[in-house]
């Protein structure tokens, strides 16, 4: 503590002024006696007594001031009584009611009415919103007075939150800006990491590109009435070209065909895919030929056959445009890939002779 001068208060300043004024008046009155060398006149003795009283007063004031400064220093060194801290509630999350209650966990960190913990997932042994920057909101009582404090993930929670001086406040503000920059950097890092994981997950699955070529009719198989509605069915035949653009190998599981957008609508059944290099049918009791493995960058040719069922009289539909036909190639992982079809693809039902 800086030592104060003993005349720092107003009373001691007035004492100094009165003493100087008394000495001036007394010295003026006895000056005539000093000129005639009468140093022991009644006025001179009174002047001597006044000087002695002023000196004694100054000595006593200095002594009192020295003891007072020592008492103040001792009082400052005396530890302040502990303050009572009580945690009312603590929430960890994103805001707007997106919180996890961590009141009980935070109360476990209170020691000697103080808390000093980092705001992190490891502190609370949970991550309620993975990959997103979170903050901690605490309502607490300090000596019976309610307070609120918010600390972001990565900050340090210190309770009681002491009052900061100007220099410390500037330091805290600068640290706050640095922490805000770090939070933005972490958020950008998490975003890039999520995008990288999504790209990696895409690379783990096959990417098949398929094309349908040379679609043609195989002839009308049947015609008649179903529930009073005329209908006819015919077979179609097409060439299917498939190429896998990923490193993950796969096979063809099935082909899905949706003709609900065709005019007139077509329902497809008995959809089959054959490998031209293998026999279409095998004898009973013999193992089926192995499926074709779709490797990266290798195009494979398949033959596609299906049964098309159309409502109405065949004479009314000499040529049916396949615009709107949706064909999906399903791989062994269950992934569905759209097969492209030529815009002018069409079939003409031809009666079987």
Q: What is the pLDDT of residues 191-246, one digit of tens each?
A: 888 888 777 666 678 889 999 988 888 766 666 665 556 777 888 889 999 999 88
Structure tokens, 188: 């950008």
pLDDT at 101 over 60: yes
pTM: 0.42
Provide, rounded to the nearest whole percent, the portion of the chain with pLDDT above 90: 18
- Return all residues near 59 (Cβ < 8 A) that are at least 6 apart: none
Residue 78 pLDDT? 59
pLDDT band at 90 (very low <50, low <70, confident <90, very high): very high
- Return all residues near 275 (Cβ < 8 A) that are at least 6 apart: 289, 292, 300, 302, 303
pLDDT at 18 over 90: no
Residue 343 pLDDT? 86
- Which 3 state secondary structure label does DSSP give 347? strand
pLDDT band at 60 (very low <50, low <70, confident <90, very high): confident
**Beta strands across the sheet bearing 208-226:** 252-258, 326-331, 336-341, 208-226, 229-244, 299-311, 266-274
Per-residue pLDDT reduced to its tens digit, 263-316: 888 899 889 888 887 776 655 566 667 788 888 889 999 999 999 888 876 666
Question: Of 262, 275, 268, nearest to 320 (Cα)?
Answer: 262
Site of tokens 């060439």:
239
Residue 102 pLDDT? 92
- The rounded distance, in Å, linking the Cα atoms of 76 and 172 is 26
Instruction: Calculate mean pLDDT across residues 131-149.
Output: 88
Structure tokens, 223: 């015609």
Residue 2 pLDDT? 47
Residue 330 pLDDT? 92
- Please work out, in degrees rounded to the nearest 5, the angle formed at the alpha carbon of residue 282 by the alpha carbons of 277 and 285: 145
* Helix %, strand %, coil % of the chain (to 5): 30, 35, 35
- Return all residues near 177 (Cβ < 8 A) that are at least 6 apart: none
The winner for highest mean pLDDT among 20-24, 156-160, 318-322 is: 156-160
| Range with lowest mean pLDDT among 70-79, 246-255, 315-324 | 70-79
């Amino acid at each position: 503590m800086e030592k104060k001068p003993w005349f720092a208060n107003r009373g001691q300043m007035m004492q100094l002024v009165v003493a100087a004024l008394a000495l001036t008046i007394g010295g003026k009155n006895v000056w005539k006696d000093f000129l005639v060398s009468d140093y022991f006149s009644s006025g001179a003795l009174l002047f001597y007594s006044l000087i002695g009283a002023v000196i004694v007063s100054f000595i006593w004031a200095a002594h009192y001031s020295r003891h007072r400064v020592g008492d103040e220093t001792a009082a400052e060194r005396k530890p302040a009584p502990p303050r009572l801290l009580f945690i009312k509630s603590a929430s960890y999350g994103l805001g707007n009611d997106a919180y996890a209650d961590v009141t009980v966990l935070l109360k476990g960190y209170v020691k000697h009415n103080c808390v000093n913990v980092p705001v992190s997932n490891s502190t609370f042994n949970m991550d309620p919103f993975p990959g997103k920057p979170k903050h901690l909101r605490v309502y607490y009582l300090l000596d019976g007075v309610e307070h609120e404090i918010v600390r972001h993930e990565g900050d340090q929670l210190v309770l009681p939150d002491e009052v900061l001086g100007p220099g410390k406040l500037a330091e805290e503000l600068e640290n706050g800006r640095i922490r805000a920059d770090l939070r933005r950097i972490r958020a950008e890092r998490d975003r890039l990491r999520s995008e990288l994981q999504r790209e990696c997950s895409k690379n783990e699955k096959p990417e098949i590109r398929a094309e349908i070529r040379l679609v043609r009719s195989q002839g009308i198989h049947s015609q008649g009435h179903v529930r009073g509605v005329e209908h006819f069915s015919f077979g179609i035949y097409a060439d299917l070209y498939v190429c896998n653009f990923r490193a993950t190998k796969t096979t063809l599981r099935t082909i899905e065909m949706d003709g609900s957008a065709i005019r007139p609508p077509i329902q497809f059944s008995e959809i089959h895919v054959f490998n031209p290099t293998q026999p279409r049918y095998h004898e009973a009791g013999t193992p089926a030929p192995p499926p074709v493995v779709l490797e990266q960058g290798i195009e494979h040719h398949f033959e596609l056959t299906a049964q098309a069922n159309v409502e109405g009289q065949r004479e009314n539909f000499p040529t049916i445009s396949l615009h709107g036909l949706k064909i999906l190639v399903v791989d062994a992982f269950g992934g569905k890939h759209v097969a492209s079809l030529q815009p002018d693809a069409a079939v003409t039902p031809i009666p079987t002779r």
